[in-house]
Each structure stands twice: as structure tokens, then as C-alpha cells.
Structure 1
Amino acid sequence: MIEENDDLENKYNQEEPQETITRVTGMYKDWFLDYASYVILERAVPAIEDGFKPVQRRIMHSMKDLDDGRYNKVANIVGHTMQYHPHGDASIADAMVQIGQKDLLIDTQGNWGNILTGDRAAASRYIEARISKFGLDVVYNPKITEWQASYDGRRKEPVNLPVMFPLLLAQGGEGIAVGLSTKILPHNFIELIEASIKHLQGKRFTILPDFPTAGIADFSNYNDGNRGGKVRVRAKISQLNKNTLVITEIPFGTTTTTLIDSILKANDKGKIKVKKIEDNTAAEVEILIHLPSGLSPDKTIDALYAFTSCESSISPLGCVIEDNKPLFIGVTEMLRRSTDNTVQLLKQELEIKLNELEEQWHFASLERIFIENRIYRDIEEEETWEGVISAIDKGLQPHIKHLKRAITEDDIVRLTEIRIKRISKFDIDKAQQKIDALEDQIAQIKHHLANLIDYAIAYFTRLKKEYGKGRERKTEIRIFDDVDATKVVIRNTKLYVNREEGFIGTSLRRDEYVCDCSDIDDIIVFTKEGKMMVTKVDSKTFIGKDIIHVAVFKKKDKRTIYNMIYRDGKGGPSYIKRFAVTSITRDKDYDLTNGNKNSVVLYFSANPNGEAEVVSVNLRHTGSIKKLKWDIDFADILIKGRTSKGNLVTKYTIKRVELKEKGVSTLKPRKIWFDDAVQRLNVDGRGELVGEFRGEDKLLIITQSGIVKTVTPEVTMHFDDDMIVMEKWIPKKPVSAIYFNGEKELYYVKRFLIENEGREELFISDHPKSQLEIVSTDWKPMAELVFAKERGKVRKDNLEINLEEFIAIKGINALGNQLTKEKVNQINLLDPIPFEAPETTPADEIEVIDETEISTEDSKDKKEANDSNDLEIDDEGQITLF
């Protein structure tokens, strides 16, 4: 029975189809590796030797093949390049357009597209090109070029072109291969040359990108162009008028089309508000952004940087091909290698030229000996070619001791090829002059070889002189101040609260309206139980029942102070505290009481500038309590951390707490600095101190164009490039100015006070030729007039003028007093006359508490109460009221 089963099993196994396994390991290992290597080496990544990808190198070689000084149709160049490049015409044409748009190696004619608008070039049959003068100068030299067979073996193409310039860094390069990519940013032409010279001189150098689209860039994290670096680029945005912004330069990697699309998208999402956009871009960028009335231009500029492509980040990655392998390298090392390579190429050029000149000198010397000594007559009787060669060789021997090398048969053959006409007209003096000139050239080249570094420096200096004009830096280098998106976003959503049930959100339209907010805001919420939470804006969020305060939360806000009185547990004592909330963990419950069950908040207020109000405390009438009502001034309470227990108010039950009197700020005036590097105000101590500002204080700004204005200082403000005065405004302090009146063509002096706060006013005449010369905000300014020397007259001595005595204070629109009728060469502002400014301190001064006194520790500090009859401080620092 067992044998029968085995037979059946064998029969079944024979009938079942056998599984065939085909291993693809070899296919992947060979084919994929070959493909990856091809893409890396032959398509995507440039070579470090000349900075070209293969298609670019073949285009430049084809253009040299076709070069006759005239323009060629791009279609013809593309067709010729296909003899060397085994790909389609479209890829070649696109690569050629990219080279042409960089305006360095190719002179273009026709519509080659626009890098600003993103418009494509016309078809290759409609546009023309030729090699630029610069390209001919630095890219080609067939004598020092290494050649190889083209892909089909019919022609010769260069392995690398002998580029004698850091071309890769000047043009930049980008490519995506298999498993790696490269992104080398373009750098400034002149700065690259200067850096090469510094390298040759043994000095340190730094090079930073410069983009053809200009714009503003922060290179603080450039990391020398290596992996991990980052460059932040911004559009150049300025205020045309109070309702219009203008973009004049765009970030690298964007176009006006993509930029406008991103602005419209941000507007649709409610991040910003834009009334209309006009694109007037042609040869230069001009995008006009019209804003709705009442919208802050400064805030909108920051919002454009925060929510649109007006600011973007670029991650450089320096990857090149060296010895048929990818190499990751920084731009500094790229420049060093390129410069060293240029020196070697210059050396090869000199050595080849020296060899050529020495050969010319050798044959010129032989020719003179051959003709001057009539050696050509010695061959008249010779009947064989060997005899002719031998006779000439024999005749030359007595005269060749000064030659630098031995005579070869080729030299003698060349002598026999001299025509009789040349022999008959041979001029010994001219022949000697030619030899002397060759000797001078040889000596000069030997000198260059002996001083190769100096020769290379002179070469780079010549390139800068001949081709550097008009290639100055376009991109402005600046350190960016980070834009807080929550401060500049448009509040496009309404926030509601259901206090009793404990919900907040944007969808509770039937409940109480709180404020406008945005979808990126955080919301801070306080409840009757003394709990606090910060959460993200959402359609509906449960916080906790009996909400007493809801607001948009500002991170690191030390000026918003919360005043609170709470009962500790059921029937426990009551405490008073003041605190700020500067940092939190989102969606975490914070207990602001002592933590006992049934604690309740009796009084709560949120004060944006540290205001301290006076409240009345009413006790329940129980037992033998004599004093049932008294006042508490929150100004007597120190500002501490939110975890502070607070100071004891009373051990008895409080019936209610009522607001008696609104308070004033207990914080010191805010110190504001101006950071010139980022052109921004800040409260972090960066830059130059502008002054200490209270809520009502203003900033005085004066521009070179003669505009004066006072504004409330905000860290989001932007400043015009022609700003010449920025200081804390003292209303009683006059502004003194000397200006040239274009209509009357005379200088005038005026002194005025600013009467219209918050309004821009022009204080010089609006004539096109009117110009502000000097302006001063000193109490007693002094100026010096330097008179011009007139023909036939004695030059007048310089004149010093006290502007306070020269003219009284008048209105801002007054013409002023004529300064002089004499011809003035220069006006200088001198040191002012010492003067003690009048007191400007407000009469109702209050005691202030420095923001640095905000503490996170529990009550360790003590503060005496103003009224010793009502307050008593115990040993624990608690205030007891009785």
C-alpha cells in the first residue's frame, strides 16, 4: 500500500509545472550602475576642470567650429552639436538658451526669453548666437586642449576645454542625477577675479553668491556652498505711497509670474489683503501691489515675506566631477582649484609659445646663414638629393656655433624650399631686426615663466579691466530679521466663546464674539477654577466650564500682565497675585491657584501694558469682623511668575471684588534699539539705542528727499533707503534745515515744529531741482558755509552761522530765510552750541517697576505697603489686610 502511494505522489509531482526562477541581480548590478554612472558623468554634473556639463562643452566646441565672427542661427548650431552629442535637438537648444541667458559666453540676438518673467525663448530657427569676446578669450586654445573621439568615432571633441576663469562659480550649475544632485549658486564676476588674485597672493578670501535677479539675500548660513547650508533670498519691496507697495527685484529661483501667483494664493487664503496687482515688468521688475485703505504697509511687507514667495530658501550643494568621480566640495576650494588650474594652463601656453618662438628664431638664424654666406651655391653641382642635403649641411657647420639646438634634416629641407625671389630680395638688416625682436619676445616669456604668479595676477587684472564693466554686484547682502508670522497675518477669522459650557472656536457664531484671529494663532483661556490653557485656533475646542478670559496669545510677551485674586479651596484664605505668561506647552492645563479643590477666581484682569488698577474688596458679615470693605492697589504687588502663590488678602470669606479705579502702567518705558544690519527696530538690545518709549511716545523720521513724519515705533516697521534722521521725537524740539530752492535757485534756512502727528509732510519746495543740504534736530545747531572761488574775485572766508539766531521758528510750510546770494561750494554741519534741554518729564510721574523684576520663584521678595494702617507684612512676605 505504501509503494502505491509513493507512485501516485511521484506521478503528481511530474504532472505539476515546475517553477522557473530568474535572478536579476546581475541585471541590476550592471545595467543600473551603468545608467547611473552615465547620468552622473555625462549629463547632470559639471566637471571641475572647466565647469561644463558635456552638452554645454559640446555646444561651445561646435560654436567654435562654426565661428567666423558673425551670428549663426541657433538651429544650425544645434544641428552641428548633434555630431558630438548623442541626444535630441530640444535638450541641446534648452541648454544653449540657459548659457545665453547668463550673458557671459554667448552674444545673443533675438528673443532669448526673460529670466525675470519666465517667458521662454523663441524657437531656435528664429534666434542667433555667436561666441562672446570674453568666451573667445578664456575658453579656447586648441594647442593645450586634450582631444578624444566623439561618440561615433568620426570627429574629435575636447575632453575638457582649457577654461582660464572660475566659470562654474560665475554661471552656477544645477542638475539631478541618480542618487545625487548638485546646486552651485552663481557668484559675482568681479568678486571672483578679486578672490583669485587674493588666493595667488596668499591672502584669505570669502565669496558669496550674486544672483542675476538681484534681490536681497542673507548668507549667514551659506556654509561655503556645502551640503547643509542655506541661503535666504527676498524680493526688494518698498512703499510707493500709503496704499501702494512696489516690488523692484525678485528672489533668485522665482519669476514675476510665480511671485504674483503666490501673492494671489495668500490673498485667497486670507493671510494678506490685496486690492489689486499690476505687473509692469519689462527690462526691469516692477510689480505694483495696491492695498485696501487702512492697512499697514509695513505689516503687509512682512506678511509678503512670511506667506508668499517674496522670501524663499535655497539649499546649495557643491557637487562636481573630478577624475570621473563625484566630488562634494565648497566654493572656496572650487575657486582655489580653478585658479591653480588657470595658472597651469597659462604656464602651458607660455611654454608652447616659447617653443614656437625659439623655433622661429632658429630657422630665421639658419635662413640668414644660408643666404648671407651663399651656401645655396654649393648645391649647383650636386646631382642627387642626398648630395644636396650633405652640401648644405657641410656649408652651415662653420656658422652654427651660436644656435641653441642641432640642425636636423627637416631644417635643411626647409632651406631648400626658399624661393629665388626671396633670396634675391633678402635684406640682412631686416633679417637681424627680426631675430632681435624674437629674442626680446623669448626673454619676455622666460621672465613670465620665472614670475608665473605675477603673470597670472596681471592676467586676472586684465580680465577685470576689459570685461568687468557693468558686472557689479546686484544682490544686496543683509542679515534678515525673522518675521513672526502671527504678528503680521491678517485676522481673517472671528473667534467666539461659550463661557458657561466652556467652548471656544470659530464656528460658534451663535455665541459671544471675542476678537478677530487667524488660523495660525494660539488662544489663551482662563477659567473660573483658576485654570489656564493655550491652544491652537480651531472650529470648536473644549477648555473647561465658566471661562472668564479669552485672547490671542503672544509668545514671549512680558508686557501683558494678569492681575488676579482667588480663594484657595472651599472656605480657605484669599490671595492676590500679578504675573506674566511668556512660554507654555500647548494644550496643557496650568493651575494658577494653590492647587486645592474648589478654588475659585474672585477677580481677574488682563492688562496689555502692565496696568495696575485699584479694586474694592467686600467681605461677608460674619462674626465680629469690624472692617467689611477696603481698597487694594495692584501697583503695590510685585509681578512674579504664574506659579507664585501670591500674597494673602484675607482669611475671611470675600463677598465680591469690584473695580474702583482703572490703573496706569507699572512697567518702565520700553527701550528700543535700531539694528543697522537688518534695518529694523528691536527690543533685544541689538544695534544702537534709540531711546525709552512710553505708549504715547513717537519716533521722528526725516529723509533725504525732505519728508518728515512721526510714527509709533513698532518692530515690524520698514525704513526708506534715504532715511537720514531717526530719533525719539520731542514735540518742543525744533527741526532746522538748509535746503536749495530749485525754483529760486538760492539756499534757504528754516526752523519748524511738527504739529501734525502721524502725517508725512514735505518741508522743502516740491520743485524737481530742490534739494535738502543739511538737517539738524539740535537745540542750537551751527553750520559752516564754504564759498566758491569766482574768477577775478578774492575767495571769501568760510562763514559760521548760528541757525537759532538766524531765523525764528516758523510753520513747516514756510519758505524760510534766504541764506546768501553768494555762490556756495559746500555747506557743513558743525558741532552744536551746548544747551540744557527743558524738562520734558510728565507731571504725573508714577513709580515704575522694571520688567526684569518679573520672577518665576514663589514669593521671596517683600514690598512694603503704602498704607500701614491697612496692610501688614508677615515673615513669609504675605500681605494681610484687616
Structure 2
Amino acid sequence: MTEEHLHEGESLKKVSGLYRDWFLDYASYVILDRAIPSVYDGFKPVQRRIMHSMRELEDGRYNKVANIVGNTMKYHPHGDASITDAMVQIGQKELLIDTQGNWGNIYTGDSAAAARYIEARLTPFALEVVFNPKTTEWAKSYDGRNNEPIDLPVKFPLLLAQGVEGIGVGLSTKILPHNFNELINASVSYLKGKKFQIFPDFLTGGMLDVAEYNDGERGGKVRARARIIQKDKNTLAITELPYSKNTGEIIDSIVKATERGKIKIKKIEDNTSDKVEILIHLHSDVSPDKTIDALYAFTDCQVSISPNACVIVGDKPMFLSVSEILRMNTDHTVSLLKKELEIELHELQESWHFASLERIFIENRIYHDIEEVKTWEDVLTTIEEGLKPHTKHLLRTVTEEDIVKLTEIRIKRISRFDLDKFKETIASMEDKIAKCKHNLEHLITYAIEYYTNIQKKYGKDKERRTEIRVFDTIDATKVAVANEKFYVNREEGFIGTSLKRDEYLFDCSDIDDIIVFRKDGTMKVVKVEAKTFVGKDILHVGIWKKGDARTVYNMIYREGRDGPYYMKRFSVTAVTRNTDYPLASEKKGSETLYFSANPNGEAELVSVLLKPNARIRKPKIDIDFSELAIKGRNSRGNLVTKYAVKKVDLKEQGVSTLAPRKIWFDETVRRLNVDARGTFLGNFKGDDKILTINANGEAKLVSFDLMNRFDDDYLILEKWNPEQPVTCIYFDGEKEIYYIKRFLFEATNNMQTFMPSEHPKSFIELVITANNATAELIFAKEKGKEKEPETINIDEFIAVKGIKAIGNQLTKSKVKAINLTIPEPEEDINPGFDEVESTEGHISFIDHDVKDEDFPEEGTIGSLFDEE
């Protein structure tokens, strides 16, 4: 039998063609019917079918989730597990489903109980906003037995409120959830023709940096952080989580970072229930501020999220921005409201039409005309003829269907006909018709009122949970724990963490950079490794930080084998790793005779002893490095001598030659900086401190380390002047009297409390650090009489006392308000100084003619490049 007979009546196709067709069909099915939501109602097909099924079963009582899932399987051609999971996800978003039972925990990641044990019903919001069978377009379900909605008529930007994630074939979607009230405000702004901007908001709270959000389009990103607070000097607490992370994942990431030596902690406690609380206990020698930064740098306490707003528009996937989605949702809501009004108007007009016919039929006793008529056709004709003289005012012509309805009116209704009541009913209908027409004519105003009413009814408990903040960039090398011990073999030229038999140098992090100086006058920067060859005759090994202009290296070297001797001071701010840099000279035989590394620009005094020579009058030269300018590492330096040098001895340790550091406070990121961002605090040097005072009467003295954090609410944040008294006016809740006190902080105690009263109604009215201030007391009416305001000079009113003192009673009368006046400090122009700090308080005057390069400042974080 031939092959032709075997395949008689069959068509042949290439296998490659079949695969292509099947794959396209499968991809289209996954994208359109499973993974990607519709832009109009914000639902994936399984979510839409769940909501439709719940509406079908809705009777005001809770239904077993298992029953809802079973009913949904009429519409969804997949397993019950996928339906249950999708329903739990909707329920955990606290918007559409009213849940009962254990629905899991978004904080801990615990899963929900089995579907047979938990219950659900639709929320009032869902019933009002999501459903309307009159405006719903229907299609047959997968088996053709039932009708299901193509899109639910959602009159709200639900897609942006709930957020969504999905992975299709060849594309994915990730739309972040946004705040309920902010979405409504944005829709109203759009309808009014105003600009709007919306940002994500998460149920888990936390903090969010939206600087690169890019309106939710592809290519944008946001950074989400946990909220970490310092409970005491040895305890941190995580109280809110970043989006997409639960407590288990956070704790696992902290444990892994601890095992890798990135952070150093004592133990972790998870006390999370209905609120997040992860306690991180620290060793006594660990900085809480540095640990917080390390948690953000090395754990899931900070995550980067890339949104990707892919939605189904019509029957095609499209990539949109969140603003475009909101505009489309708002326009769709307006069209749905218009459709509802048109349907309502039509129904009202039909009701008015038939009510008018009924009145004519009964009032003119037309029903008597059909008593003797024998055939049905004659009955209809008789009624039609009886109505004709009275139907000119009707909205449309009378149809046979209208006449048939009139014949169905019961005798009981005719006998009890009340003309006045009928007129009231028709008048009420006419009012509703007029209102409906008015709303159609003013559709945008009607839509704005709709949104406003929705917000009033359902927006009370939906305040923003995630704080929008600009995050500071954390340099991982500055916050990593020194988890490695570093060694050197100077003779053989090896450095590393594995040379435990050789000379121990310091502890470092495994992500630090190491700088090495050799006797031949060369320098190299390398990464921390177990063992690295850097060259023999090592003079100095240290941890190197990019942009560090405050570490200054002092050096005396010989140029070539018999050349002259030079001295120089330089800093190393940028290099390329694993590259040898000649600091002395490229001539053979160059040698370093003296070298020192000075972390704060110290300049010592050295003695250079010359070899005996008949031409030399002074065999000893004293060199003060403070007289040398700090230049680049490539500079040749200043000539010391042309004669041979025997040795160089350290004569006297030096002090820093760098100018005090200019420190600013950036309120946006709540960090100190040297880049002139924010409020200028002053010039800092040595042991200078920053004073912070909060509303609870707690004062802290902290260093001006740029890594310090200032997350607490503060009344005062300024450079601390030990001789400047602090004035506090507070209300004693127990005695119901205002007190005033003045005191100085103790330099030996970095954390001090000055609020004497612990009564719950006590509070601090104001705190100032200024001299010659006056307070105007405005008194409340007592027994119908008004007391004249009183002004007091604070410095004269009370002397400076101890920090624990109660202070003096401000007044016995009831105080309505206290108006404070601080005199402007006199400007002190002193040409001998670049900056003059006021002694009158925390106001500083800056000489803006001083150039930035006069004061070396710390560089910014970035990749390593050659110095230009």
C-alpha cells in the first residue's frame, strides 16, 4: 500500500509550523486570560470570576471560601488551589473582601487556613463600586453553560489601588499599590484639568524613595526601606517592613549578613503579631547608627523595586505609566456613570409614561368602554381610541404593549385610585428626570461629586502608611563591620588576611580597599584578599577610602640613586586599583627616607641629619611639615638638600593643619554633610558636638561623624556651645501651671533628660538656645475679665540652674499663648576669620567669599578613577 493511500483524506503540515501556531496560541492565552490584568477593571480573569461568583452568592452573610471557590469553578477552567490563592491575595489587600478567620499574615508571610475554615463576603465598597449588571457586558463561560462578565463595571482606579504582579509568556507586569485617598484626589484633579502626581503606598508601611519612579513606567525604580528605630543604646527595632518582604525574609537576610561578617549583632527577637516588631540586640561596643546603615546596605531592610505597568487594553497588552492608567480609569468611570444615568433616565421616562397612561385610563374611565366588547382585538382598539384625545403630552407614542399592560391593572387598584397621590408620584418622577438630565448635562461635576462621596464613605481609615523620603546613599565600605584581621610580611612583600604568622596590622572589612606604600617611593591600592603580593620593602599599609582628602601623607625621598632630596605633603583621593603609582621619582634607585600617614592632616617636625661633608656648615636641618602646602600625589615637592642624608628623625609630633570642617544638616535625608546641602551648622574640630533636643525633653550630644542618623523628631539641632544656657518653658500637668528653667548640659553625659514632670498631661511649650530673649504672656479670660499681656526678660527672670531643677513658676494665671521674641544677633565682621559664630544662639554667619578649596572636604561616593 502506498503512502498516498495511507494519508488519503488527510492534510500534511510541517512540525515547525505546528509548533509556531501552538506557541502563539498558548502565549496569547496566558497573556490575555491568565497573567495580565485589564486596565478597565483592574482584574485578572481569575480575580474577575471570583468577584462575579461572590456577587452571585451575596446575601449579606459570610460564605465559606470553599463554597465560593466551588461556585467560581463554573467560570474558571483551572484547579481550586489557584482560585483559593487568588482569593486570599485579594482578601489580604483589605479593600474588596470582608474576611473572617485566619487569612494569613502579610507581615510574617504565614499562609491562610484551609478554604473550608475561613469565610468571606463582599465589602460595602465593592458592592457599590464594582458591580452593576445593567452596564456589564457578558460573554459565555468556557463550557457555554453560564454568562460571565467581560469586564466588571468598576468605577474606581482599582488596578492602581490594589497593585498587581504577573508573568506571562514573553512579558510580565508589576504595578505597585497606591493610596486610596490619593487616587481619588488625583482623579478629581484630572477631571478639573489640574496636574496630579501619584506614588506607591504599601500596607506594610516603611519608607520609600520615589526619585526614580518614572511614573511607574518600565525602566523606573523605587527603593523601599524598613523603618528602624533605636530603642536604647544596645537595641534596634524594626517596626515597619519594605514592600514585598516579610519578617521571616528580613530575619534570614540579617542572619546571613551576620554570618558573612557584614554586621555584628548579639541576637534577634521576633515579636511580630498584628504589628511588626523585630528586636535587634547589639554588643556594647557596636554603634547603633552604623548598624542601621549596615542593615540597609547588606540586608533586605532595603530593596529596589522596578515597576512595569503592562495591562490589557481591549485585547492587546500595552505598557503604560500610572498616570495614563489613572486617566483611562477616570475616563472609563465617567463613561460608566453616563451609561448609568442614561439607563436611569430611560427607566424613569418609561415609568412616567406608563404612570401617565394609567392615570388617563382610570381618570377618564376608559375601562368602562371595554365592558361590552367581545373580542381581544376590539378591546385593544377601544382602549387605543379612548386614549388618543389625552396622549399629546406623552414622551412617545402609545404601543400595543402599553395597552396590554393597562388591561392587566387590577380592579382593586382602580377602585382605590387616589388622584392627588398619583400626581405626587408623577411629580416626584419628573423631579428625578430633571435631576438625571441635569447630571447628564454636567457629567464632569457629577463624576467629581461621585468620587468625593466615595472618599467620604470609605476613605476615613485609609491614610498613607508609607513615608515618602529621599534616601541618602550608603557607602557599604563605611558601614561594613571590620570582620577580617589584616597582616603584612614587609620583607617578602605580601599582605592579606591569611598571613596569621606575620605582623598583625588592623581589623578591616572584606570589601575595604588597602593602600600600600613601598620604600622605592611607589604606591598601590588593592582589594582585601587572603594573600596579595604588592612588592618588597613595605613602609605603610592602611585602609583607603575614596575621596578622603583629610588623610595627608608626609614624605621625604631621594630622586634616583644620587639625586637631591625632596619633601612633600599629599592626599590620595582617587586611583585605579592594582596600579603602581610613582610618588618619588621614576628614576632608578629612588628611595623614601621618611614617611608618615596622618588621618587628620597632622604635620610633625623632623630633623634631617646630613652625612659629613666639608662644604656643609649645618649638618642638621629641621623641617616643619606644617609649612608645606598639601598638593597632589604627582607633585615633586620642595627641595630639602642636594647633599647626602644620613637619616631622618622625628623631633616633635604635629597637630592638624586642616581647617575646621564645615558641616551642614540636610533635613531631607536627615544627615550631616560637607557638600553645602541644607542648614549650615558651623565649623567643627576635635571634640565639638552636635546638640539635639526633642519634644519629650531628651537631649543628646553626638559627634559630627557624617554617618550619624537623626531620625527622631527634634526641636533643636545645632552645634553645641557648652557655655550657652538652654531655656525651657513647660506645662506641669499635675499642678496645671507653666514653669520656666535655664540650665547647662554636662559634657560628660551624652544623653540627658530635663523634663521634671512625668504627668501624662505635661508637655514642653518651647525650648531655645539664645540670650536676651523675651516672652510675652497672653492670658485667658478668668471670670469674664481679661488680664493685660505681660512681657518678661528670660535672662533676668531666672538664673541658670542645674538640669534636674524644676525651675520657677512662670505665672499663676491661666495662659492662652506665649509669644517668644529672640533679638537679632549683632553681625561681627572680623577679617581675621573666615567664619564668625554668634554667641546669641544657633544662628551662624558665613563669609561666602571664602572659596571651597580653602577647606579640604570629604569627597563623594563613586567608582574608582584616575585623578585628573
User: How is 1:302-381 mapped onto 2 (pairs within 5 angstroms)?
Assistant: 302-381=293-372
2:853 paired residue number: 852
Compute the displacement of 1:793 (Å): 4.4
Partner of 1:492: 483
Question: Do structure 1's residue 176 and structure 2's residue 177 form an aligned pair?
Answer: no
Deviations 1:748-784 (Å, cap 9, x if unpaired)? 2111111234520101125143322111100222222
Are 1:505 and 2:496 an aligned pair?
Answer: yes
> Which among 541, 551, 576 is matched to residue 585 of structure 1?
576
Deviation at 1:838, TM superposition (A): 14
Deviates more, 1:702-711 or 1:133-142: 702-711
Give the C-alpha shift of residue 714 in structure 1: 1.4
TM-aligned CA deviation for residue 160 of structure 1: 0.5
* Displacement after TM superposition at 1:89 (Å): 0.4
Alignment of 1:659-674 (within 5 A): 659-674=650-665
Residue 766 of structure 2 corresponds to residue 774 of structure 1? yes
Partner of 1:13: none
Deviations 1:813-838 (A, max 9, x none): 12211222222222332224757999
Which residue does the alignment assign to 1:114?
A: 105
Which residue number corresponds to residue 863 of structure 1?
A: none
| Structure 1 residue 541 corresponds to structure 2 residue 542 | no
Equivalent residue for 1:300?
A: 291
Q: Match of 1:385, as an amino acid?
A: W
SS of match in other structure, 2:567? strand
Change (3 A) 1:850 1:349: closer
- Kept in 2, the 8 Å contact 1:279–1:287? The answer is yes
Instruction: Pick from 110, 115, 122 the counterpart of residue 124 of structure 1.
Output: 115
Range 710-719 or range 125-134, more displaced: 710-719
Paired position in structure 1 for 2:602: 611
Shift in alpha-carbon separation, 1:431–1:390, aligned structure 2, 3 A: same
Residues 834, 646 of structure 1: alpha-carbon distance in 2 compared, 3 angstrom cutoff: closer
4+ aligned runs moved over 4 Å, structure 1: 833-839
Residue of structure 1 aligned with 2:224, choices 233, 238, 243:
233
One-letter identity of the residue aligned with 2:660? P
Partner of 2:466: 475
Letter in 2 for 1:777: T
* Matched residue type, 1:275: K
User: Which residue in 2 is equivalent to 1:208?
Assistant: 199
Q: What amino acid is the match of 2:380?
A: I
Partner of 2:781: 789
The alignment partner of 1:820 has SS state of: coil
Q: Contact 2:215–2:321 (CA<8 Å) still a contact in 1?
A: yes
CA contact under 8 A between 1:213 and 1:251: conserved in structure 2? yes
- Work out the CA distance in 2 between the residues paired with 1:685 and 1:853: 14
- Is the CA contact (8 Å cut-off) linking 1:782 and 1:833 kept in structure 2? no
Give the counterpart of 1:133 among 124, 140, 159: 124
Once the 2 structures are TM-superposed, how far is the Cα of residue 786 of structure 1 from its aligned partner?
2.0
- Residue 50, structure 1, aligned to residue 38, structure 2: no
**Residue deviations 1:502-522, cap 9 Å, x none?**
111001111111110011111
Structure 1 counterpart SS, 2:715 = strand
Distance 2:350 2:178 in 1: 42
Counterpart position of 1:76? 67
**Aligned residue number for residue 405 of structure 1:** 396
SS of residue matched to 1:414: helix
Q: C-alpha distance in 2, partners of 1:574/1:758?
A: 50
Work out whether residues 739 and 771 of structure 1, in 8 Å CA contact, stay in contact via their aligned partners in 2: yes
Instruction: Answer whether contact 1:113 1:122 (CA < 8 A) is retained.
Output: yes
Looking at structure 1, the residues matched to 154 and 547 of structure 2 have their Cα atoms a distance apart, in angstroms, of 55
> AA paired with 1:712?
S
Structure 2 gap segments, 5+ residues each: 1-11, 837-849, 857-868
1:741–1:764 contact (8 Å) kept in structure 2: no
| Aligned twin of 2:546 | 555
CA deviation map 1:210-257 (0-9, x unaligned): 011010000000011111111100011111111111111110000011
Q: 8 Å contact 1:111–1:122 — kept in the other structure?
A: yes
**Aligned residue type for 1:772:** I
CA–CA distance in 2 between the matches of 1:728 and 1:36?
Answer: 64
Q: Is the 8 A contact 1:110 1:128 kept in 2?
A: yes
Letter in 1 for 2:404: V
Q: Give the conservation status (yes or no) of the 8 Å contact 1:558–1:851.
A: no
More off after superposition, 137-146 vs 650-659? 650-659
Is the 2:663–2:674 contact (alpha carbons within 8 Å) kept by the matching residues of 1?
A: yes
In terms of mean alpha carbon deviation, does 518-527 or 21-30 score higher?
21-30
Matches within 5 A, 1:706-721: 706-721=697-712
Separation of aligned partners in 2, 1:305 and 1:766? 38
1:584-612 Cα shifts (integer Å, max 9, x gaps): 10111111122111100011111111111
Q: In 2, are the aligned partners of 1:187 and 1:211 still within 8 Å (CA)?
A: yes
Match of 1:387 in 2: 378
CA distance in 1, matches of 2:451, 2:774: 50
Of the structure 1 ranges 393-402 and 743-752, higher mean CA displacement relative to structure 2 is found in 743-752
Q: Secondary structure at the match of 2:800?
A: coil
Counterpart of 1:94?
85
Between 1:658-667 and 1:313-322, the stretch displaced more is 658-667
- Give the superposition deviation at 1:278: 1.4
Q: Tell me the amino acid that sits aligned with residue 853 of structure 2.
A: T
- Equivalents in 1 of 2:545, 2:261: separation in Å? 20
- Separation of aligned partners in 2, 1:399 and 1:254: 73
Once residues 287 and 774 of structure 2 are traced to their aligned partners in structure 1, the CA distance between those partners, rounded to angstroms, is: 38
Counterpart position of 1:595: 586
One-letter code aligned to 1:452: L
> Post-superposition shift, 1:378?
1.1
Q: How far apart, CA to CA, are the structure 2 residues paired with 1:386 and 1:233?
A: 77
Task: Give the 3-state SS of the residue equivalent to 1:719 in structure 2.
Answer: coil
* Per-residue CA distance 1:527-582 (angstroms, 9 max, x = gap): 00011000000010000111001001111001111111110000100111111100
| Residue of structure 1 equivalent to 2:242 | 251
- Contact 1:570–1:599 (Cα < 8 Å) also in 2: yes
Q: Residue 153 of structure 1 corresponds to which residue in structure 2? A: 144
What amino acid is aligned across from residue 574 of structure 1 in structure 2? Answer: Y
> Whole-Å Cα distance in 2 between the matches of residues 504 and 424 of structure 1?
112
1:281 aligns with 2:282: no
Structure 2 Cα separation of the partners of residues 555 and 834 of structure 1: 40
1: CA distance, partners of 2:178 / 2:305: 14
Say which SS state the counterpart of residue 723 (structure 1) adopts.
Answer: coil
* Secondary structure of residue in 2 paired with 1:430: helix
Distance 1:756 1:359 in 2: 86
Q: 1:869 corresponds to which residue? A: none
Q: Secondary structure at the match of 1:52?
A: coil
Identify unmatched segments of 5+ residues in structure 1. Answer: 1-20, 856-882
What does residue 3 of structure 2 align with?
A: none
Q: Find the residue that maps to 1:594 and give its secondary structure.
A: coil
2:481 paired with 1:518 = no
Question: What amino acid is the match of 1:322?
Answer: V
> What do you get for the CA RMSD once the two structures are aligned?
1.8
Asked if structure 2 preserves the Cα contact closer than 8 Å seen for 1:580 and 1:854, the reply is no
Report 1:51-66 matches (<5 A). Answer: 51-66=42-57
Q: Compared with structure 1, are the counterparts of its residues 22 and 569 closer, same or farther at alpha carbon in structure 2 (3 Å cutoff)?
A: farther
Report the Cα offset of residue 290 of structure 1. 0.9
- Whole-angstrom distance in 1 between the partners of 2:617 and 2:825: 63
Give, in whole Å, the separation in 1 of the partners of 2:578 and 2:651.
Answer: 35
Map 1:715-864; keep pairs closer than 5 Å.
Answer: 715-765=706-756, 767-769=758-760, 770-790=762-782, 792-832=783-823, 852=853
CA shift at 1:119, angstroms? 0.9
Deviates more, 1:715-724 or 1:261-270: 715-724
- The equivalent of 1:165 in structure 2 is 156
Give the distance between the partners of 2:805 and 2:438, measured in 1 at CA: 72
Name the aligned partner's letter for residue 781 of structure 2. K
CA contact (8 A) 1:641 1:854 kept: no
2:430 to 423, 430, 439: 439
TM superposition shift of 1:524: 0.5
Give the TM-score of the pair, scaled to structure 1.
0.92
